[in-house]
Structure 1
Amino acid sequence: MEAMSTLPVRRLEEHSRIPMDRRRWPATLAPIRQILDKGLDLGPITVFVGDNGAGKSTVVEALAAAFGLNAEGGTHAAMHQTRRTESDLADHLQLVRGPGASKRGVFLRAETMHGHFSYLETLGPSGLHEQSHGEAFLDFVTTRSGISGLWVLDEPESALSLSGCLALLGVLRQLASNGTQVVLSTHSPILAALPEAELIEVGDWGLRRSSYDDLDLVQNWRLFLEAPERYLRHLD
Structure 2
Amino acid sequence: MKGLYVKQLRYQAPDQSARHPFDLAFLDQLNEVTFAEAVTFIVGENGVGKSTLIETIAQLMDLNLEGGSRNNQFSSYGENHLLADSCRLIRYPNYPKDAYFYRAETYYNLMTNLDDLGISEELFAKNSHHYSRGQSFKELVSQRFFGKGLYIMDEPETGLSISSQFELLVMMADLVKRESQFIVATHSPALLMFPGATIFELSTEGLKEVAYQDTQLFKEWQMLFERQSVFVKDLLRDIEL
TM-score for the superposition, normalised by structure 2: 0.88
CA distance in 1, matches of 2:162, 2:76: 31
CA–CA distance in structure 1, aligned partners of residues 106 and 70 of structure 2? 16
Give distance in 1, aligned partners of 2:111 and 2:209: 34
Decide which of 3, 12, 26 is 1:31's aligned counterpart: 26
Q: CA deviation at 1:204?
A: 1.2
Structure 1: where are the runs of 5+ without partners?
none
Q: Distance in 2 between matches of 1:225 and 1:86?
A: 41
The aligned amino acid for 1:203 is S
Describe how 1:1-236 pairs up with structure 2 within 5 A: 3=1, 7-14=4-11, 19=14, 21-35=16-30, 38-43=31-36, 44-84=38-78, 87-102=81-96, 104-124=98-118, 126=120, 127-233=127-233, 234-235=235-236, 236=239
The answer as to whether partners of 1:224 and 1:230 remain within 8 angstroms in 2 is no
How much has 1:229 moved relative to structure 2?
A: 2.6
What amino acid maps onto 2:19 in structure 1?
R
Q: Any conservation in 2 of the 1:31–1:206 contact (CA below 8 Å)?
A: yes
Shift of 1:77: 1.7
- Secondary structure of the structure 1 residue equivalent to 2:144: coil
Task: Give 1:85 shift.
Answer: 5.0
Q: Partners of 2:174 and 2:27 in 1: how far apart?
A: 30
C-alpha displacement of 1:102: 1.9
Identity value in percent: 33
Q: Secondary structure at the match of 2:173?
A: helix
* Superimposed CA distance per residue, residues 40-86 of structure 1 (whole angstroms, 9 cap, x where no aligned partner): 11122110011100111111111111111110001232111111456
Could you tell me whether the CA contact under 8 Å between 1:54 and 1:204 is conserved in 2?
Answer: yes
Mapped to 2, the partners of 1:102 and 1:188 lie a distance apart of: 26
Q: Distance in 1 between matches of 2:209 and 2:78?
A: 31
How many Å separate the matches in 2 of 1:40 and 1:14?
Answer: 9
Q: CA RMSD in A?
A: 1.9
Cα distance 1:138–1:86, how it changes in 2: closer, same or farther (>3 A)?
farther
1:22/1:33 contact within 8 Å kept: no
Q: In the TM superposition, what is the alpha-carbon distance from 1:22 to its structure 2 partner?
A: 4.5
Q: Is the 8 A contact 1:49 1:192 kept in 2?
A: no
Letter in 2 for 1:75: S
Unaligned ranges ≥5, structure 2? 121-126
Looking at structure 2, the residues matched to 192 and 219 of structure 1 have their Cα atoms a distance apart, in angstroms, of: 13
Structure 2 Cα separation of the partners of residues 61 and 24 of structure 1: 17
CA distance in structure 2 between the aligned counterparts of 1:53 and 1:70, rounded to whole angstroms:
22
Alpha-carbon distance, 1:226 to partner: 1.9
Aligned partners of 1:139, 1:199: CA distance in 2, in Å?
26
Q: How many residues align?
A: 229
Q: Which amino acid aligns with 1:176?
A: V
Distance 1:147 1:172 in 2: 10
CA deviation profile, 1:167-202 (whole Å, cap 9, x unmatched)? 110111111122111000101100111221101011
